[in-house]
Structure 1
Amino acid sequence: MNYSATAMEAVAQPQPHVAMFAATGKGHLFPLIELARKLLRCQSFAVTVIIPDDGSSLEPQKDLLRTVPGTNLALLPPVSLDDIPPTAPIEIPIILSVTRSIPALRRVLADLQSSVHLTAFIADVFGVHAFPMVKELGIQIYLFQPSPAMMMSLVLHLPQLDQSCTCQFRDLPEPVKLPGCVPVNGSDLFDPIQDRQSEVYKSVLEMFGHFKEADGVLINSFPAMEEDTFKALEEACESGGFPPVYPIGPVIRSGSENCNSKEECLKWLDEQPDRSVLFVSFGSGGTLSSLQMKELAAGLEGSGQRFLLVARRPNDLVRTGAYFSGKGEMDPGVYFPASFMEKVKAGKGFVVTNWVPQVEVLRHAAVGGFLTHCGWNSALESVVHGGVPLIAWPLFAEQKMNAVLLSEGLRVAVRVREGEDGVVDGDQIAKLVRKVVEGAEGAELRRRARELKEAAGAAMGEDGSCNKAVADLARKVSGKK
């Protein structure tokens, strides 16, 4: 039987295999898995997702991986984090779980090299500590940035800022002008760099320094959302100061896990008028103090608007039976005011204390606004699935920078302002809720949000920037021209 040269080459060419490495947090791993899903659609790949074991439950991550054919899971041996004090910043255990897993990671990669055609290593920002080791193995390296391009502009600018600034960034008299970005107050910069004398700050500087070792940087955003920022990054690449950038976003979930139409909150939304409900959620890890929760309840009640609230245990309360129902779930009636709970009982509000199918909620016609912690996954899900105005309430990490982009750059959000005691009072919350759901400013925010939703849809279309960037990446990691 005769074969053409192309066919013979195809037979001889082994299947390309990509290793992906991510910290255990959902916000880091879930978008990386969605990227794997996109890559698998482009080429005949196999993917191994490698996760360090920091002692946390990985069942949701495992469940999601099972929905992506062509992926394998390599769970690294557990590492001890017993020497980390409970008061340590959250970044410390994440970084140490990665750095202490590097020897085990090397063994996994070496085993893959000996058994499959391993062509690339894709890691999130915490995985950059493994870059020198991966380079020794001769594997292509790609950095996955799950935050906006604005965050990558900070990476480029931080060494210069570090050398030129003598004070804490929060004390800078003028906003910081990151290349291609709306000006950012120093106090709104990435939380881990706010204390320049801390070990976390030194770790972040070191981490950012590894970014340039990548063969490419994958950013979960799209040019129509951050046009000037992507241009600035492209110029840095052309000057040789930064790796090529792939605008692969929006990389988000198409639906919530384990969701069905019988979810009580969805049935409640079905009964509400169109665009009448404010959805309130602070993400999977965001919590408020008991005082702030009461102010939030007062604001929602005082606004006169309908609301769907995801309420998690206040971060200053110990877990005692007084705050939990017989099912082990938080009992909101214990610390929310009686008048607030009466509004819930009357059907004007709905409180969820564990899990909510966020994608399906944002898609629902009854939702007219979203009060969000500005985690980037939630922000993108709102843009793609909701197209509704936002109330930005950032809590930690890069969320304040995201809030600046959403409110001052894209102008699809209004932002809460904390008082001197760090609390957002109920009167302010009530005013912002009314403004977003029923006010003229809210209508303008909604118009811009819809335009941004259309731009995101175009980016995700067959000829959009997202699919083009992913296809280009797929060719590179498969070894094709």
Structure 2
Amino acid sequence: MDFFCADALDVAHELGIPAYIFFPTGANNLAVFLHLPELASTWDRTKENVGKTPIVIDGVPLIHASDLPREVLEISDDHELFINVFRQMRKANGILMNTFESLEPRAVKSLKDESSFPTGPAKPIYCIGPLVTAPNKGVTHPCLRWLDAQPKKSVVYVSFGSSGKFSIEKLREIAFGIEKSGHKFLWVVRNPPNDDPKEPYDPLAEPDLDALLPEGFLDRTKEQGIVVKSWAPQVEILNHDSIGGFVSHCGWSSILEAVINGVPIICWPLFAEQRMNRVFLAEEMKIGVELKGSDEGMVSRDELAEKVRWLMESEGGKELRNNVHVHRINGLEALTEGGSSETALFQFLENLK
């Protein structure tokens, strides 16, 4: 079952049915969430202090409460709902995760260590990832033809997932930033949020780029980059030889797609567990670099341009590219015959007997 359905574990146990959780993100996230019921009860809940609370967990880089999903951080019905889900997850016969052991070795080791969980974690755990869609060579899209004409590793891909949307002000700041970087770009632009309840937001509605972007931007950058409206074939883009970096919201699926295609990440988290992922990418996996302004909700054009140039030009950026290449090889090997993820899946199937 999906981890949001963890209350069904009580029904399964009453009926004597083995019940397993599928956790769609990684081991660091799981370790944090399984500890939260006890940790959250100790927080100073005053508004000015709760976000500063350090989250110290064996095998996990230091994060703060402000990095957690807002639903967990704030005092609300949603907070109690999430804490109950994390508490319920421990009742599972096991947890399958969309990760592979060598990507998060310290967190995986911690999850397997009984002493790390005084109240008892769900056991065992199975790392069966990376579960990502394979690129489809039959996909055709104008942006792919544009990429075919670009030099190898020269393009920065800018996309914020199916739920990522920005105000006009922020869209224009992004536009100035990627233009100022001087590097080639492929940018997926969605319409800004719509606060009118009579007109529900349509994520695939075609945006009016002339109205949303800075005056003259499309003309000035027509040799530098391409703007795609609403949707682009992300898997095929990240798999393309011309992509050298990815400005991402740090959703777990996008992270794994970047890893399996060897693309380093500029981290711009928006919501959910994405701020946690940003820390794990930069501090643990060492395949991402942070945009500091994302914590305040506004990354300046200067910071975005600086981080793009750093990733594409510096020795530090080269190191990230080398690191993600190693993770790519390890991720592919994990899925092969005898690899760690295939072995874990067969262990799960064996245990079902």
TM-score, normalised via structure 1 length: 0.68
Matched, 1:408 2:280: no
**What is the aligned counterpart of 1:381 among 226, 242, 257?**
257
Q: Identity over aligned residues, as a percent?
A: 35
Q: Following superposition of structure 1 onto structure 2, how do residues 183-262 of structure 1 map, counting pairs within 5 Å?
A: 183-195=62-74, 197-236=75-114, 241-242=120-121, 243-255=123-135, 260-262=138-140
| Equivalent-residue separation in structure 1 for 2:296 and 2:128 (angstroms) | 40
What is the aligned partner in structure 1 of residue 210 from structure 2?
333
Number of equivalent positions: 348
- CA-based RMSD of the aligned residues comes to 2.5
Distance 2:46 2:57 in 1: 17
Q: Deviations over 1:395-437 (max 9, x none)?
A: 1110111110001111111111227863111111110111112
Which residue of 2 is the match for residue 310 of structure 1?
188
Describe the shift of the 1:420–1:432 C-alpha distance in structure 2 as closer, same or farther (beyond 3 A): closer
Matched residue of 1:381: which SS?
helix
Which residue is equivalent to 1:433? 308
State the one-letter code of the partner of 1:378. Answer: S
- Single out whichever of 457-466 and 389-398 deviates more from structure 2: 457-466
Contact 1:237 1:244 in 2 (8 A): no
Tell me, yes or no, if structure 1 residue 396 matches structure 2 residue 275. no
Distance, in Å, in 2 between the alignment partners of 1:176 and 1:419 is 20
CA distance in 2, matches of 1:219, 1:168: 34
Determine if the alignment matches structure 1 residue 356 to structure 2 residue 232: yes
Quick one: structure 1 residues 272 and 151, their matched pair in 2 at CA, closer, same or farther if it must change by over 3 Å? same
Distance 2:181 2:138 in 1: 31
Structure 2 alignment gaps of length 5 or more? none
The match for 2:245 is: 369
Which amino acid is the alignment partner of residue 335 of structure 2?
M
Partner-residue secondary structure (3-state), 1:210: helix
Change beyond 3 A, Cα 1:296–1:131: same
Task: Report what 1:25 is aligned to.
Answer: none
C-alpha displacement of 1:475? 2.4
Post-superposition offset of 1:217: 0.5
1:449 aligns with 324
State the one-letter code of the partner of 1:330.
P
Which of structures 1 and 2 has the larger relative contact order (alpha carbons within 8 angstroms, sep 6+)?
2
Look at both structures and tell me which one has the larger radius of gyration over its CA atoms. 1
SS in 2 for 1:418: helix
The one of 292, 301, 304 aligned to 2:170: 292
- CA distance in structure 2 between the aligned counterparts of 1:330 and 1:193, rounded to whole angstroms: 33
Q: How much has 1:445 moved relative to structure 2?
A: 1.1
Which residue is equivalent to 2:219?
342
> Does the CA contact (< 8 Å) of 1:294 and 1:337 recur in 2?
yes
Is 2:53 the counterpart of 1:178?
no
Q: Does 1:138 align with 2:13?
A: no
Which residue identity lines up with residue 396 of structure 1 in the other structure?
F
Alpha-carbon separation, structure 2, partners of 1:276 and 1:187 = 35
Unaligned runs of 5+ in 1: 1-122
| Distance in structure 2 (CA, Å) of the matches to 1:425 and 1:413 | 18
Amino acid at match of 1:415: E
Cα distance change, pair 147–420 in 1 and its aligned pair in 2 (3 A): closer
Name the residue aligned to 1:265.
143
| TM-score for both structures, normalised by structure 2 | 0.91
Which residues in structure 2 correspond to 1:109-188 (within 5 Å)? 123-167=1-45, 171=50, 173=52, 175-188=54-67
**SS of structure 2 residue aligned to 1:314:** coil
Q: Which amino acid aligns with 2:33?
A: V
- DSSP 3-state at the match of 2:55: coil
Distance 1:420 1:285 in 2: 18
Q: Is the 8 A contact 2:126 2:344 kept in 1?
A: yes
